[in-house]
Structure 1
């Protein structure tokens, strides 16, 4: 895999991790809303199960945030080390030249 393709894959994974983080955040918020609504209702099953669910999802969110931070750092380091911006410029020029020669 060439350097630019590897970096693009790293960007894709970063975006997927961001999506995962956002999804987990939404789940934590939804569980919290159900817990609040249940204060008035007092359903024993919800009282028993939701706090553990909330904690598990919150723990996963912390792990995702940790992975995302570490992975972004590795991606940025890789990008700088391999001068990805210059490689992107070269790729753009190459594509423009190939597109111009087809006409």
Structure 2
């Protein structure tokens, strides 16, 4: 795989990790909403299980965020090391010929 294609795939992975992080955040918000609403309903099974689900989801969010930050840094370093801006310019020149 050439360097520009690899960089573009790495950027795609970063975007997907961002989407995953956003999804995890949305799930946490929904769980929190259910927990608050359950104060009125007072369902014991929700009261017992939701905190566990909330914690696991929060742990997943932390893991995804850490992974995303690390991979974003690797992607940036790869782009700088391989002068991706120059490779893109060259690709544009080649495509206009």
Q: Same fold (TM over 0.5)?
A: yes
User: Cα RMSD (Å) of the superposition?
Assistant: 0.4
CA–CA distance in structure 2, aligned partners of residues 42 and 89 of structure 1: 62
Q: What's the TM-score once normalised by structure 1's chain length?
A: 0.93
In structure 1, the gaps of 5 or more residues are 98-103
- How many aligned positions are there? 97
CA–CA distance in structure 1, aligned partners of residues 54 and 96 of structure 2: 51
Q: What's the TM-score once normalised by structure 2's chain length?
A: 0.99
Task: Quote how far apart the aligned CAs of 1:96 are.
Answer: 1.3
Task: Quote how far apart the aligned CAs of 1:17 are.
Answer: 0.2
CA–CA distance in structure 1, aligned partners of residues 85 and 72 of structure 2: 16
In structure 2, the gaps of 5 or more residues are none
Structure possessing the higher radius of gyration over alpha carbons: 1
